[in-house]
């Protein structure tokens, strides 16, 4: 019997959320793996868009970056970055934005800028790139992140990408009409913002995971749904397709499988 690793379970759970009708702004890494797994399984007609301007791309291997030639080679067309952001993103034509981050707080705000004080950080992170715009202009946001107390923190040192601010209503106060983060998919569980407060609440535990394990990986006291579900286990097909995708990617990039 094939058993999924925690990272594979995170990718598969995220992929299941996507449909053929989605137009998806894809981030590199875990979001890219999830979106392409969906395309190769249950959502073959999904439209994948990467920040470099590639529209309806169908990569055979996972890209190393948004500038990977694989994206342009397999895209329906490629547009300029200004057109991508102004016409497609700010024009409200993208249904789902897939993001990750170095840190997240209880209201799904993301930090990819610094760890520690901004003027004298302990770690200088890669920065926002297009994520701040993706976070406010896509119809809704899915976030994929592995749990850990250094990643899921009580207070962010810097908010790079706006989630739900300090609670329900903060997006509306800023004039934002999109839904913001609606699903946070981790290697242990799935979270959603509470309808009344927008605070992240665990709604589903992955197979074999306990509440205690999830809480240990979080820097604030977590809320759990009254009717806590169990994420359906990975199917043989999902695992086979995902692992084959990673093997092809390693071979393409000169890494031994």
CATH number at residue 168: 3.40.1080.10
Residues 6 or more apart in contact with residue 167 via CB below 8 angstroms: 107, 197, 198, 199
- Asked if residue 9 and residue 45 are part of one domain, the reply reads yes
- Asked if residue 195 and residue 247 are part of one domain, the reply reads no
* Number of domains the chain is built from: 2
52: containing domain: 1-94+232-252
- Asked if residue 219 and residue 195 are part of one domain, the reply reads yes
For residues 129 and 27, is the Cβ–Cβ distance under 8 A?
no
pLDDT tens for the 257 residues of the chain, in order: 579 999 999 999 999 999 999 999 998 888 999 999 999 999 999 999 998 999 999 999 999 988 899 999 999 999 999 999 999 999 999 999 999 899 999 999 999 999 999 999 999 998 888 899 999 999 999 999 999 999 999 999 999 999 999 999 999 999 999 999 999 999 999 999 999 999 999 999 999 999 999 999 999 999 999 999 999 999 999 999 999 999 999 998 886 54
Residue 248 lies in a domain: yes
Q: How many CB atoms lie within 10 A of CB 45?
A: 10
Residue 71 lies in a domain: yes
For residues 20 and 44, is the Cβ–Cβ distance under 8 A?
yes
Tokens of 193: 């913002």
Angle, CA of 12, 16 and 21, to the nearest 5°: 140
- Asked if residue 55 and residue 143 are part of one domain, the reply reads no
Tokens of 178: 């999109």
Name the packing angle between helices 236-252 and 6-15 (round to 10°): 110
- Asked if residue 14 and residue 129 are part of one domain, the reply reads no
Active site amino acids:
51
- 243, containing H or E segment: helix 236-252
- Asked if residue 65 and residue 153 are part of one domain, the reply reads no
pTM as predicted: 0.93
Residue 257 lies in a domain: no
Residue 62 lies in a domain: yes
- Asked if residue 159 and residue 68 are part of one domain, the reply reads no
């Amino acid at each position: 019997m094939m058993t999924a690793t925690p990272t594979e379970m995170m990718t598969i759970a995220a992929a299941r959320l996507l449909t053929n009708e989605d137009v998806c702004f894809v981030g590199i890494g875990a979001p890219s793996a999830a979106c392409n797994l969906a395309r190769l399984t249950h959502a073959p007609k999904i439209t994948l868009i990467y920040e470099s301007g590639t529209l309806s791309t169908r990569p055979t291997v996972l890209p190393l970056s948004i500038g990977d030639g694989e994206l342009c080679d397999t895209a329906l067309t490629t547009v300029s970055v200004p057109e991508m952001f102004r016409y497609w993103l700010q024009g409200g034509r993208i249904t789902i934005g897939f993001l990750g981050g170095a840190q997240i707080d209880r209201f799904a705000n993301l930090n990819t800028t610094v760890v520690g004080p901004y003027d004298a950080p302990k770690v200088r992170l890669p920065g926002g790139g297009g994520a701040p715009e993706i976070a406010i202009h896509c119809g809704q946001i899915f976030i994929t992140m592995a749990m850990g107390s250094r990643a899921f923190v009580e207070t962010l040192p810097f908010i790079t990408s706006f989630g739900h601010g300090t609670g329900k209503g903060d997006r509306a106060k800023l004039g934002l009409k999109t839904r913001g983060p609606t699903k946070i998919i981790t290697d242990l569980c799935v979270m959603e913002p509470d309808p009344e407060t927008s605070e992240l609440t665990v709604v589903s535990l992955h197979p074999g995971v306990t509440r205690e394990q999830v809480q240990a990986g979080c820097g604030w006291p977590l809320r759990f749904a009254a009717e806590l579900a169990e994420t359906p286990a990975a199917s043989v097909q999902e695992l086979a397709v995902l692992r084959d995708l990673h093997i092809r990617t390693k071979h393409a990039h000169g890494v031994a499988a």
